[in-house]
Chain A
Amino acid sequence: MTVPLLRRRLYLALQTGVVGLALLTVLFPFFWIFLTSLKPPDLVARPDVWTFLPSAANWREVFLESDVPRYIANSLLVGVVTVAIALLVGFPAAYSFSRYGTGGGLARFAVLAAEMVPPAVLIVPLFLVMYRLALTNTLVAVIAAHLTFVVPVVTWFLIGFVDEVPRELEEQAMVDGYTRGQAILRVVLPAVRPGIAAAGIFGFVLSWNDMFYALILTGGASKTLPVAIAGYWTFRGIEMGKMAVAILLAVVPVLVASFFVQKHLVKGLGGGAVKM
């Protein structure tokens, strides 16, 4: 074996080792949560037990005897409505930043400023407004809160995608007999479809994962899934088995969705920064 070949193999082994370690760090907790969800009630509080007879008791209870399905529906509804509004607002905003340089290069980046504000700063005014409007404990309040961070992210995502659509496409459509509005709908929008999908999914995940706003603004029947997960931490102790089931229900859809749009996610995250 020649020396360069040996070196290359060593390098490959090292690479595999590092990636493997990273994967292990990330995936092990999920594996552990999955095991916990299958443990019979008497073993749930024993993290040191690795071999046991799997039981479906936790899954059955969560699905059939709890309100978790309703909370999942709440989370879905909040996520979908939030994303729909965010796209409706974010796409025109992104178009405006991209084509007209609205507000200058600074405004383009300032869109993300809302993202830098700690939620604790926003929650007090949001809560007061919702309280005045008698909207606390409703999903409307959660949607309003989620819009504060989903709209900027969706806009930021789409700026990069709109930037990549050549202006000439719209101009061609305008010369071909369409108004600017028609040109945007019929030419720009279809061209940024992957971006819209990625932005939508990313925005949905942000909304889906939020616990802070939902915890403060909702309660009872209007709870979202993350709040419900936290709810398994009761004064009688942590209901680890059921919590594990709920956690898996919260995480798996996100993982699946991210897998499908990962290519566009990477592009979208950096996209708006390409051009000043």
Chain B
Amino acid sequence: MPGVRLEKVSKRFGEVRTLRDIDLEIADGSFTVLVGPSGCGKTTTLRLVAGLETVSSGRILIGERDVTALEPRERNVAMVFQNYALYPHMTVYDNIAFGLRAKRMDEAEIRRRILDVAAMLGLGDLLARRPGELSGGQQQRVAIGRAIVREPNLFLFDEPLSNLDAKLRIGMRTELLKLHRELGTTTIYVTHDQEEAMTMGDRIVVMEAGEIRQTGTPREIYFRPADLMVARFVGSPPMNIFEGRLEGGAFEGAGLRLPLPGIGSFAGRVLLGVRPEDIHLAGTLEPERASAPFSARVEVIELLGARAIVTFALEGAEIKAVVEERQLDTLREDTDASLVLDHHRLHLFDAESGERV
């Protein structure tokens, strides 16, 4: 299976620059997720790879082949759109057969392939129906079936799960991953949902304003965000950010003074990022990881089940922490609690550039 390479790809729509000099390497057989807020250029990137838009400058390669100037039909890619784009006037069978017929494949072979795919996706009973008679989840399967039946070089998914309800969405995620493991086809998957990106991608590309902010594995993106934008975008509840200064190896700000061992000689204005799960009740963290304790007022406790999201007030600012349910006994709303931060898990960003320090 070939990989994909984008070299200095830019896209302008009239005066608007949607993508600026994107360089991206997508490995053979990988499941790469493009994620970012709306308007970040992720869908445009996908459409450029599909050939549905033409680049303003730069090159796109699929495998060793330069496809920059090729029509979509010449690229041997398959795409699944957010609205599934099923042909309303055709049965499920004909929808799936449509791409094969373009290749003038023998009808007996088409039939064999469709029955295979239908068995894989549980579409057997639906082949004679029309899209209008299917549920959202079934339409989704047909769209996926139509993509895999062609045995393309590359799968492109444009927010394929966002029209499904939450429960179905989580089920489909697993199915898509299984399918990917089975077929091994290189996949590019676009979503605005950071959780979907984290759970599905073996590589994540975080984009914003037409640029790539960070490329990495889900762990890298989550535990070593390259800048403030990535740090804020990934994770739920989002990372807590404190404004302050670094001086003499300690962070000062938001009413806190936290000595940070091993921070080195950097000094100046910084933003301190702490994920909600890295804020602990004093005494619950191994002492060598814990920062100096500080006190904050408990405002709201939202129980999720095994865990709760607790909102604390600190110097007028809000911080959110994820706390184990069994530790909640010690907390009362409107009382003070003593907290520590896990200093192995702190993130420091330059206040000017937003980049990781």
Chain A residues at the B interface, C-beta cutoff of 8 Å: 166, 168-169, 171-179, 182, 187, 190-191, 193
Contacts and interface: CB of A to CB of B under 8 A. Distances in A.
Given A168-B83, A171-B79, A191-B89, 9 more contacts: A166-B85, A168-B85, A171-B52, A173-B98, A174-B73, A175-B51, A175-B78, A176-B146, A190-B89
- Secondary structure class of chain B's binding surface, majority of residues: loop
Interface string B32-51: 00000000000000000011
Contacts of A190: 87, 89
Contacts of B75: 175
B3 interface: no
Interface of B: 50-52, 71-73, 75, 77-79, 81-83, 85, 87-89, 98-99, 102-103, 146, 150
Contacts of B79: 171-172, 175
Contacts of B78: 175-176
A75 B99 CA distance: 44
B73 A175 contact: yes
Nearest to A180: B71
Contacts of A193: 89
B135 to A, nearest CB: 19
B99 A179 contact: no
Contact of A171 (B72, B89, B103): B72
8 contacts: A174-B71, A175-B50, A175-B51, A175-B73, A175-B77, A176-B78, A177-B150, A191-B88
A169 B85 contact: yes
Contact of B150 (A169, A176, A191): A176
A169 B73 CA distance: 14
A68 B102 CA distance: 51
A178 B73 contact: yes
Given A171-B72, A191-B89, A176 B83 contact: no
B71 A179 contact: yes
A179 B70 CA distance: 12
Given A177-B73, A177-B102, A178-B102, A172 B85 contact: yes
A178 B104 CA distance: 11
B230 to A, nearest CB: 30
Contacts of A172: 79, 81, 85, 87
B81 A176 contact: no
Nearest to B103: A177
B151 to A, nearest CB: 12
Contacts of A177: 73, 99, 102-103, 150
